[in-house]
Structure 1
Amino acid sequence: MSAAPHSRFHARSAVQQRPLFALGLRLLSALLFSVVLLLVKLITDRGMWFPEMLFWRQVLPTVVLLVWLVARGQLHRLRTARPLVHARRAAIGTFSMFFTLGVVLLLPLAEATVLGFTAPLFAVILSVVLLRETVGVWRIGAVLLGLGGVVIMANPWHAYTGHHHLPVLGLLVGIIAAFLVALISIQLRDLGRTEEPITIVFYFCAMSVPVLALLLPFVPAGYDRAFHHDAIGWLMIGGIGLLGMFSQLLMTSSLRYGRVSSVIVMDYAQFGWSTLWGWLVFAHLPPATTWIGAPAIIAAGSIIAWREHVRSTRGLAADTVAASVG
């Protein structure tokens, strides 16, 4: 059994170096996810219960991927020697969805999106706590810069600036969401060594469906009356499920063809899309504090990505020298 994952790992390594393709995949993933956040905000505004929306969001990709694999006679692609690792990723991912998607219910789209960009900051912290990595002045400075950007966006001095401050609950949910995304990124990096993107996405969705189904009997009656599951509602549900699935596949695939430190910068394009949707749909433009804090957070993430690239390049060069000497 161990030979199969090993051979799959080497087959995958051979196709990883397509940086421009990886950047394109990640950029498209960011666009699709910004639309998912927009649909989540719209459908909950229409009165749909949030956990029910999450249930359908996971059911649709599960069914679509399963039918697609059966139709192509490729069900064997779901074979895995790491079911417990998939289960752990699904458990954390399901919990994370309540925050990563729920934050748009508490904050405007642009602000909710920017808080998600603090994930690299938490990735640095987790690398120290979990992996015992040594962090240099560049990454420490980037973390401090990013946290400073969050404080600016929070605008604790709103009474003096005249601008509204972000709700504390919304800030807390957004920061927890970013922390969980960083934690999941470590899991995805590990799973990606032996598993295809379609396998990772399928098991995440399929394993989370029974958990979310346990919440369905507790849908408050008021939500049933407010949301009648009409044609527009079902189209929104379909959009959330399908676009979310493709966004996940594209995001996971981008890590197959390019380095994390390179492709992650494309995620920042999501801020532009979210700002555009917020303006067109909700007539909301971010205040000055967001336009000051957001670049600080994005700059912090970019510095961390650059340092990761430098460290990985040095590590590769060292391995090459060692191999030639050996």
Structure 2
Amino acid sequence: MLVLGAAAAFSLAAACVKALDGAVPLAEVVLWRNLFAIPALLPLMVQHGGLAALRTARPMSHAARILFGLLGMFGSFYGLAHLPFAVVSALGFTMPLFLTVLSVPLLGERVGWRRSLAVVVGFLGVLLIVRPGEAGEGAGALDLVAAGAVLLGAVGWALAMITIRRMGEAGEEAVTIVLWFAIGSSLVAAVAAIPVWVWPTPGQWLLLAGVGLISALAQVMMTNAYRTGESTLLAPFEYSAIVWTVGMGFVLWGEVPHISAAAGIAVLIGSGLYIWHREVTLGVKR
């Protein structure tokens, strides 16, 4: 239930970003998303010794994790301003595909023909969603720049996952990783936001607060779910987010996925679930 709740909460936070409709600069959205999340993380920091939770011997690893996480956040937030809600959610599910590909050179993993084929099929699903030959034309045509940004963001999230795994294997505490990302990403986003700064309206303040607080709640729920449950059994339930984004996209913005996009979403999710199944069978750790 916690994973389902976290998936719903992450979808609601993304809906807050989409509701901003690009009126607040992207860097500023990222800044407030992280700043509003920090108070929710303070109890976690206190539980782990206060400022001692920030002690680390791996500053460069944290810098890389911050960079990759910001790439993922900027990519998905840009997509939310320019693409249908469900499409952004679906393209975000390419992260396991990129993670599988990148694990070969970066983690030295061996990927067999079954997972390799699933990755290829998954990217064929992406083509069905994006339909690059129809960019800017016809019903359901998508902004290819925005789609590319979301895919680049998925690469960022995959690299962040690999970095977190390496840090965890080296003994870094999860709370230290979470806290440094919140602090570091806020600082970077603040610098990037200065040249384009605008003061949000009261309604925009509510949406920005919603992005940060709901995201923090979702992260806590997801962390608790994986702490108390078997990760290999919980992972598939993260795909329930697509149900929420399709539903909210229809109710809030009247969005109905194009038939080609719907088929592509099904193919992409099926591919991701098959990769998960093979990794469970092979005992691959994520």
Structure 1: which 5+ residue stretches go unaligned?
1-23, 316-326
In the alignment, which of 199, 204, 218 is matched to residue 247 of structure 1?
Answer: 218
Alpha-carbon shift at residue 308 of structure 1 (Å): 0.6
Alpha-carbon shift at residue 196 of structure 1 (Å): 4.3
Supply the distance in 2 between the matched residues of 1:91 and 1:283 (Cα, whole angstroms): 35
Task: Check if 1:285 corresponds to 2:264.
Answer: no
Residue-by-residue CA offset, 1:104-127 (whole Å, 9 max, x unaligned): 112110001100111111111112
Structure 1 match to 2:14 = 37
Task: Check if 1:203 corresponds to 2:189.
Answer: no
1:120-269 equivalence runs, <5 A? 120-156=96-132, 158=134, 163-193=139-169, 194-219=171-196, 224=198, 229-258=200-229, 261-269=232-240
| Secondary structure, counterpart of 1:130 in structure 2 | helix
Alpha-carbon shift at residue 277 of structure 1 (Å): 0.8
1:55–1:213 CA contact under 8 A, matched in 2: yes
Structure 2 match to 1:85 = 61
Q: Which runs of at least 4 in structure 1 moved beyond 6 Å after TM superposition?
A: none
1:262–1:305 CA contact under 8 A, matched in 2: no
Structure 2: which 5+ residue stretches go unaligned?
none
Alpha-carbon shift at residue 89 of structure 1 (Å): 0.9
Supply the distance in 2 between the matched residues of 1:290 and 1:212 (Cα, whole angstroms): 33
Letter in 1 for 2:178: V
Residue-by-residue CA offset, 1:130-188 (whole Å, 9 max, x unaligned): 223222121011011101111111234659x9643322112211211111111111222
Task: Check if 1:270 corresponds to 2:247.
Answer: no
| Aligned residues with identical type, % of pairs | 32
Relative to the length of structure 2, the TM-score reads 0.88
* Count of residue pairs brought into register by the alignment: 282
Supply the distance in 2 between the matched residues of 1:67 and 1:293 (Cα, whole angstroms): 41
1:99-118 equivalence runs, <5 A? 99-118=75-94
Alpha-carbon shift at residue 219 of structure 1 (Å): 1.6
In the alignment, which of 261, 268, 274 is matched to residue 297 of structure 1?
Answer: 268
| Secondary structure, counterpart of 1:101 in structure 2 | helix
Change (3 A) 1:255 1:105: same
Task: Check if 1:308 corresponds to 2:284.
Answer: no
| Secondary structure, counterpart of 1:284 in structure 2 | coil
Supply the distance in 2 between the matched residues of 1:65 and 1:156 (Cα, whole angstroms): 41
Supply the distance in 1 between the matched residues of 2:220 and 2:164 (Cα, whole angstroms): 12
Alpha-carbon shift at residue 36 of structure 1 (Å): 1.2
1:158–1:164 CA contact under 8 A, matched in 2: no
Alpha-carbon shift at residue 252 of structure 1 (Å): 4.1
Supply the distance in 2 between the matched residues of 1:168 and 1:119 (Cα, whole angstroms): 18
Change (3 A) 1:253 1:87: farther
Change (3 A) 1:167 1:231: closer
Supply the distance in 2 between the matched residues of 1:64 and 1:205 (Cα, whole angstroms): 11
Supply the distance in 2 between the matched residues of 1:88 and 1:257 (Cα, whole angstroms): 29
Deviates more, 1:105-114 or 1:257-266: 257-266
Residue-by-residue CA offset, 1:252-311 (whole Å, 9 max, x unaligned): 444444565443312211111001111111011111112211110001000110111011
1:32-71 equivalence runs, <5 A? 32-45=9-22, 47-66=23-42, 69-70=45-46
- CA RMSD in angstroms comes to 2.6
| Secondary structure, counterpart of 2:33 in structure 1 | helix
